[in-house]
Amino acid sequence: MPVTPTYPGVYIEEVPSGVRTITGVATSITAFAGIAPRGPTDRAQMVLNWQDYERIYGGLNKDSLMSYSVNQFFANGGSQAYIIRIVGAGAAPATATIDAKLKVDGKNPGTWATAYSVVTAISTFDVQRFSLTVIETATLAPLETFVNLSMNPADSRFAEKVISNQSQIVNATKVSAAANVAPPAAGTSAIAGGNDGAALINTDLTFKAAFETALTATASGLNLLDRVDLFNILCLPGMTTATKVKELQKFCHDRRAFMIVDCAADATLSGLQAASQPDTNLTGTDSINAAFYFPWVNAADPLAEGAMRPLPPSGMVAGIYARTDSQRGVWKAPAGTEASLSGITSLALNMSDPENGTLNPKAINCLRSFPVYGPVVWGARTLAGNDQRGSEWKYVPVRRLALFLEESLYRGTQWVVFEPNDEPLWAQIRLNAGAFMNDLFRQGAFQGKSAREAYFVKCDSETTAQSDINRGVVNILVGFAPLKPAEFVILKIQQMAGQLQA
């Protein structure tokens, strides 16, 4: 605040600098959707490592391509993922009713909770209080214990509230509506029943149409991601129905996210060569926010004594995206000899250079295996990257860098709203956005020898006319010179003729 001088002397006034640091957002938070034997169905749950996924969603499951893909995501460098568990019609939790007084349900739908039982015991200090322990039925190992519980809703240790809020395994519901109910009798009650819902897979390799329908349904589909503050990559392992993928491409475009699209499990080299592009449904306006990968990979399956199992590549490719972002930056193509694939035994198809050359111009990113480097990602084009289209968003790193800039600047300029719309504000915007862009330039994110060649930030009376001011609009123009990957390296070698005397 301005100082009001009242006495002769020196006054100190702190003046704000106008600098508001714009911080770059995360670039590789990946959302997965698929089936799992357990886990929440009413929200997108973040997991930070494979152990989190095992604890919440049950780990590897032979019917869940998503479980293998999430495992490969973390094995290849991923660090943050949102999981959306999708269940079929009729899914319901397993339950146990204790002494017709307290009902205990599995925390979420499925038969997984039938592996547990609950043990109740009356308190030795107060017969109106009891304890409840969740145990593993097979081993009798106690997993969770809640003590000093009461059946009185007015009590701070009301069993329904305490158990439902604190347990990671079960919810509890008081059966009787009466206020004063005696505690349930001591004993052991097995959690039984439950329903996993209608089967959502046809074979181990392909999803049924029911899965694809449920995935985009209003009740249980990707609307759950609307509640997520930020995600950057979307993976739907095994989802190959082009019309569904098209809908999800638009969803990603609207959310400034990027989608990794799997080829079909039975996709063949000859089939892709015969087509002019992967599918017309995949190459529309929103295809700039998606990339297509071929072929599937073979990995040892721990659930089948190490037998080989074909798996879609999207999970491990998302891990490569994350690893490249952290090591080099989002402007580096997630491909090349550094983009080695971990956790696989072989590719479903080993291509030659000429065969690769027939797919790359069609915006089909190939996975290749080389003698020294092993299996690697060997393509970095968006689905709009067909040579015949000539799109400015031909390359994955260029598009993802643009999405990173858009999201970062969007979040970093929220303070501008309702500020006086005149030159002082415009100068602050130029200062803050320019500082952000210059920092990226120094990291090597843009093309050019100088900042002037690499980017510009314009916000002044030319971008914001008086008519804009009257409508409450301030226009900020940001441009950047992207680094495009060296997709083709051409070596010109010339043999020197004999040295001739001049």
Residues of the chain with pLDDT under 70: 1, 179, 200-222, 276-277, 497-502
- 3-class SS at 104? strand
The pLDDT assigned to 488 comes to 77
Which alpha helices (DSSP H) does 33-101 contain, by range?
50-57, 65-75
Evaluate the omega torsion of the peptide bond into residue 295 and state whether it is cis, within 30 degrees of 0. yes
Partners of residue 131 on adjacent β-strands = 121
* CA Rg value for the chain: 29
Q: b/e for 332-353, b at 16 or more Cβ within 10 A?
A: bbbbbebbebebbeebbbebee
Share of the chain above pLDDT 90, in %: 71
CATH 2.60.40.4290 positions along the chain are 92-195
Do residues 181 and 151 touch, judged by C-beta distance below 8 A? yes
Q: How far apart are CA 327 and CA 280, in angstroms?
A: 35
The pLDDT assigned to 489 comes to 76
Question: What pTM does this model have?
Answer: 0.90
The pLDDT assigned to 499 comes to 59
CATH 3.40.50.11780 positions along the chain are 30-88+209-398
Partners of residue 298 on adjacent β-strands = 310, 346
Domain 92-195 part of CATH 3.40.50.1220 = no
Residue (of 462, 151, 11, 429) closest to 3 by Cα position: 11
Mind spelling out the 3-state secondary structure of 253-310? Answer: HHCCCEEEEECCCCCCHHHHHHCCCCCHHHCCHHHHHEEEEECCEEEEEHHHCCEEEE
- Token couple for 481: 């010179």
The pLDDT assigned to 486 comes to 84
Q: How far apart are CA 224 and CA 211, in angstroms?
A: 16
Contacts of 446 by beta carbon, 8 Å cutoff, 6+ apart: 331, 437, 440, 454, 455, 480, 481, 482, 483
The pLDDT assigned to 221 comes to 57
Q: What is the DSSP letter of 144?
A: E
- Domain 30-88+209-398 top-level CATH class: alpha beta
